[in-house]
Amino acid sequence: MNKEDMILISVDDHIVEPPDMFKNHLQKKYLDEAPRLVHNPDGSDTWQFRDIVIPNVALNAVAGRPKEEYGLEPQGLDEIRPGCYKVDERVKDMNAGGILGSMCFPSFPGFAGRLFATEDHEFSLALVQAYNDWHVEEWCGAYPARFIPMTLPVIWDAEACAAEIRRNAKRGVHSLTFTENPAAMGYPSFHDFDYWKPMWDALVDTDTVLNVHIGSSGRLAITAPDAPMDVMITLQPMNIVQAAADLLWSKPIKEYPDLKIALSEGGTGWIPYFLERADRTYEMHSTWTGQDFGKQKPSEVFRDHFLTCFISDHVGVALRNDVGIDNICWEADYPHSDSMWPGAPEQLDEVLKEHHVPDVEVNKMTYENAMRWYHWDPFTHITKEQATVGALRKAAEGHDVSIQALSKHEHGGGGASDWQSQMSKVAQNSAGKD
């Protein structure tokens, strides 16, 4: 397949929330208490909520910047592309990168909305619903052919979480972001079936996918406080391997044949061995551990329930049929540092051609699986001819995608523990407030 003819839907991108996101959606009585973006004397921007300050507002929003500026920066909105936080500019960037569709994870609230978990549950719910309304109505609603809507959970209350899933499903949302390890955040684990049952019921009843993103609990694998950042970055997929094992051996997988779970930003190359190991574990130990998958092997159960994704995974693409060709989607990870934007089509095309992937399998991984899993059809708004890499890039002619040095602040590289400390700070502040 010519790269110009590919259709690309990314199931893992990120939003840097705009300063006015609560303006049209949060009840007036809460506006003064809501999280706010503060422009600091040193020129940086930070989200602040009560006594919590979320540094590095853009997390790792480095799209369009030279690699020398990657790291814990940027610190301000003036250091990132407008496409990170302005939807009109995001679509221009998507066009320039040849990307038709995008599913966008949150930034400052945490991937599971942990920031909003306060002792005042009414206020907390209002924040979650306001965020979800902004995301669905303003961000995704501005371009319904370009964004797969995904909402935050009510992480501190399974019953309220179920109600919010059902509320959003009524307006066509079939994607929920969630933590990969609720126990690490101070909530019951995935193995507390009775506690989370209302959520599982709602997910299955509404055909909503549970998306567990790496690092969503604030815990990523590090080996030592003084380990270089490279260690943590290399081990990032290990976080999602743990979640996959946790969920594969959990009761909901056995109780809900239609339950769907996405392992977001986890890669795919590790999965064939993981499945081999799971099958071996079942064969050797199920007699005494009491696990029972009926007539299926764990690897078969995995393919019934789990969606995986890759950016540029040579091993995963080579072993795609051992993973399950119907269980793989592509991701861009815009605007984070793993992203290939704006050269994603070229790098993806190189991987696909190296491994002689036939067109029918290319289409599944690049857009058809995403449409099916998330019940999202962009072609009710545009034609396939308008959705190709070539057509989108033609529409973006003149849009500046040049690499630009944008840093205006002092950089501190830090180590893995520095990053881990920042990511876990909000989780530690919010855990146990239910």
CATH code assigned at 71: 3.20.20.140
pLDDT at 412 over 50: no
pLDDT at 411 over 70: no
pLDDT digits (tens, 9 = 90+) for 249-296: 999 999 999 999 999 999 999 999 999 999 999 999 999 999 999 999
pTM higher than the cut 0.95: no
Asked whether residue 434 is domain-assigned, the answer is no
Number of compact structural domains in the chain: 1
Q: Looking at residues 210-221, what average pLDDT do you find?
A: 85
- Asked if omega into 153 is within 30° of 0 (cis), the reply is no
Which residue range(s) make up the domain with 317? Answer: 3-429
Asked whether residue 81 is domain-assigned, the answer is yes
Nearest to residue 109, comparing CAs of 335, 424, 334, 426? 426
pLDDT digits (tens, 9 = 90+) for 84-114: 999 999 999 999 999 999 999 999 999 999 9
- The confidence band for 213, taking pLDDT boundaries of 50, 70 and 90, is very high
Q: Looking at residues 372-386, what average pLDDT do you find?
A: 97
